[in-house]
Amino acid sequence: MLDTDKTDITFTYHTKDTAPEASKPLIDQTVAEFGGLISLHALFAESPVTYETYQKAFDLFLKHSSFTLLETQVVFMTSNFINRCHYCMAGHTMMMKRAKMPDDVIDGLREGRKLADPKLAALQSFARELLEKRGHIGDDRLQAFLDAGYDRKAALEVLTGLAAKLISNFTNALAHTRLDRGMDKYAWVHPDDR
């Protein structure tokens, strides 16, 4: 019988030299943005379609949605928690710390606790329920999100953030992505697995 915990299936951490031609401009973008090729993007390079889709969705949500930088991280980190993504939880914690975001928000997101700020809590709850119920949250839950001060545009934009995270969270689950330098101090294990 196959032991599903042990496998010899490995994913390649590509470099610009080993990546498919269509991934090379995407690697250049990553290096320009991050100062080097991070592990997740080295894995993405295997599939230029996946790499480009992720980068576009991530950048559009982060830079062009109606959310503040903190709100985008609430959506991202909620997905990281629900999808148990060790790599993204560490990476986004590092991003939030560098941006000097509130420690209580970071800690709450890492532990899956309801955030103290009512508007952020509404966003967190909305993202969480979308994930857990595969979008079928019902009109009452959508109305609660709108009543918290968000609009229908924001409701749809949350889906863009979650789409980007699905790609990264699931890639990391498949590949057991190694943490990049500097992420070790933010290593994370889901509370249920501690």
pLDDT, one tens digit per residue, over 140-152 is 999 999 999 999 9
User: 13 lies in a domain?
Assistant: no
User: 32 lies in a domain?
Assistant: yes
Average pLDDT over residues 159-164: 98
User: 108 lies in a domain?
Assistant: yes
User: 46 lies in a domain?
Assistant: yes
How many angstroms separate the CA atoms of 158 and 61, rounded? Answer: 8
Q: What are phi and psi of 72, to 5 degrees?
A: -65, -40
How many angstroms separate the CA atoms of 40 and 25, rounded? Answer: 16
Q: How many CB atoms lie within 10 A of CB 188?
A: 22
pLDDT per position as a tens digit, 62-120: 999 999 999 999 999 999 999 999 999 999 999 999 999 999 999 999 999 999 999 99
User: 4 lies in a domain?
Assistant: no
- The predicted pLDDT at position 2 comes to 36
- Supply the range of the domain harboring residue 130: 21-189
What distances in angstroms separate CA 116 from CA 79, 119, 155, one per listed residue? 18, 9, 21
What is the total count of domains within the chain?
A: 1
Q: Give the chain's radius of gyration (CA, Å).
A: 17
User: 122 lies in a domain?
Assistant: yes
In the structure encoding, which two tokens stand for residue 62, read together? 């982060």
Task: For the chain, give the number of residues.
Answer: 194
User: 73 lies in a domain?
Assistant: yes
User: 5 lies in a domain?
Assistant: no
- The predicted pLDDT at position 4 comes to 43
* CATH number for the domain that contains residue 108: 1.20.1290.10
Burial of 148 (0-12, 13-18, 19+ CB in 10 A): middle
